[in-house]
Amino acid sequence: MSISFLEALGILLFCYTALPTLWGRTLSLGVFSKGNKKHPFVALTFDDGPDPQVTPQLLAILKEHGIKATFFLVGQHAAENPALVRRIKAEGHSLGTHGFGHKFAWFQGPIGSIREISKGNEVIRQITGENTQFFRPAWGVFNLFSFFYPRFKGQKLVLWSLMSWDWSPRYSSNEILNSVTRNIRPGSVIILHDRCTKPIASDNGPTKMLEALPTIIQYLKTNNLKAVNLETMYAFREAGLFKRSLLQIWNVWELCFDKLAGLKPVGGQKNSLFRLAVRKYRGSIIKLPDGTCLKPGDRIGELHLNNNLLHAITSKNPSAEGLGINVLKETRRSLPILAQVISQDPAYKSVKALIGVTMIHRGTTRLGFYVYELSPGIRSIVAWYQRWLLFLLHPGGLSHLKRQWKKLVPKKVIISKDELLNRYLNEGSSWSDRGKTRPASGSINAR
């Protein structure tokens, strides 16, 4: 059965234009358009700028409310306003490219498509000194080359899950507000505009957006939704089948390890922060600042952290700093319970000190711990192990690990038994109340 020239041309045009757009817009194949609904994050994204009148006002609103957003810049507008681009970056917002001239992909050939994307990328790179990791096509429309070329260059394709309609002449600022607040959900990627792009968009669309935005932000806060940039939203995307499978296998290994290593939850509670085992100290002699002297053969409590609890904690903390702060809070709440157990359980009567190894050791000295360096050989092994744990436990996975790599240096933390009891035994947290503290957020444990 033969087909005519026009039929062949139609099939070719469909495969070049409509099919990639169908993949992206309808099926979301290879495109990031919404975040993980299990996390209370939404992403405010602004297209078509920067605009010398609107964008400064927008930045002022975002700064006033402590909001981080993502700007998809049109290359030619960025080239005309380089100082504004640098300001967006300096104020902590993410940058993506929206092409150089906001060209409609269906009307571009392969060479024109590549030029449109690469030129837009190059303008932003020259201004900021950094490559952009996100690309959003003009009008949300792809052709075959605009769909695959950014991926070849290491960029992530981004669309949206919630249209604000701020560009529409038919929508007032109140209707924009209602459209957003009615449909926003955890994981929403909201598209707004800080510049008017003809021929369809309304001249006063950005002005209406500015009028609606403060109330939108207030709605987010009232409903416990946090506006984040796309790096954070993408890092917390739902784990794929491969990682979920790895995590399930690892959980089985964790159970086996706890049994083989004799690790027991402090106070017998499965949701307690600490796992504890009594060991003989095998390191070199250490004299702690409080006068306690650890010698080989002394009995110590080997501290580990509950990785299931840490998984829940890391799911709520985008940054290493936030993770560290929250695990310190949880540690501070858990130490009185640990002190009660150590003082009352005969199994720990001969223990002289408690020792753990962690990458989140900043601030532990304020809790009574002393921090010591590991030997280079052991440090390398432990670092790889704990980085593996971070990959498994943190929703950001490998991308988060790469960003935090240099900060992830494990160290030994030690608190003497006397110091623990003197600080925490009489704080009023009874052993019978163990496990009732609410977890704040986690640390990487030291198995």
Residue 136: CATH number of its domain: 3.20.20.370
Percent of the chain with pLDDT over 90: 59
Same domain, 214 and 250: no
pLDDT digits (tens, 9 = 90+) for 367-422: 999 999 888 878 777 777 767 776 666 666 555 555 555 566 888 999 999 999 99
What the block records as the tokens of 231 is 């790096």
Q: Containing domain of residue 38, as a range? A: 5-235
- Of the pLDDT bands very low, low, confident and very high (cuts 50, 70, 90), residue 296 is very high
β-pair type (274-280, 264-265): antiparallel
Q: Give the residue with greater pLDDT, 366 vs 54.
A: 54
Overall size of the chain counted in residues: 447
Same domain, 115 and 205: yes
Same domain, 66 and 134: yes
Q: Is residue 317 part of a domain?
A: yes
Sign, Cα dihedral of 277, 282, 288, 290? positive
Same domain, 181 and 249: no
Among candidate residues 80, 25, 27, the one with its CA nearest the CA of residue 52 = 80
Q: Is residue 219 part of a domain?
A: yes
SS3 132: coil
Residues catalogued as catalytic: 47, 193
The residue whose two tokens read 């670092």 is: 383
Mark which of 219, 235, 251 sits at the end of a domain.
Answer: 235
Q: Is residue 360 part of a domain?
A: yes
Same domain, 66 and 193: yes
Mark which of 235, 259, 282 sits at the end of a domain.
Answer: 235
Distances (CA, A) of 304 to 164, 278, 293, 371, 372: 48, 12, 22, 16, 17
CA angle 166, 168, 169 (to 5 degrees): 120
Q: What is the mean pLDDT of residues 201-205?
A: 88
- Of the pLDDT bands very low, low, confident and very high (cuts 50, 70, 90), residue 440 is very low
Same domain, 199 and 285: no
CA angle 278, 283, 286 (to 5 degrees): 100
Spatial separation of the C-alpha atoms in residues 384 and 401, rounded to whole Å = 11
Most confident of 47-56, 250-259, 265-274: 47-56
Same domain, 47 and 146: yes
Q: Is residue 442 part of a domain?
A: no
Same domain, 186 and 323: no
Q: Is residue 440 part of a domain?
A: no
56, with CB counted inside 10 A (0-12, 13-18, 19+), is middle
What the block records as the tokens of 87 is 């300001």
Mark which of 205, 235, 265 sits at the end of a domain.
Answer: 235
What the block records as the tokens of 264 is 């027991």
Distances (CA, A) of 260 to 151, 268, 346: 46, 17, 22
Q: Is residue 446 part of a domain?
A: no
Structural domains in the chain (count): 2
Same domain, 95 and 229: yes
Q: Is residue 439 part of a domain?
A: no
The residue whose two tokens read 């970056």 is: 89
Spatial separation of the C-alpha atoms in residues 73 and 95, rounded to whole Å = 7
Sign, Cα dihedral of 236, 238, 243, 245? positive
Same domain, 405 and 385: yes
Same domain, 229 and 257: no
Contact assessment for residue 352 and residue 283, using Cβ atoms and an 8 Å cutoff: no
Q: Is residue 398 part of a domain?
A: yes
- Look at residue 308 and tell me whether its pLDDT is greater than 80: no
Spatial separation of the C-alpha atoms in residues 142 and 29, rounded to whole Å = 12
DSSP 42-55: EEEEEES---TTHH
pLDDT digits (tens, 9 = 90+) for 88-113: 999 999 999 999 999 999 999 999 99
Strand partners, 97: 73, 135
Same domain, 266 and 349: yes
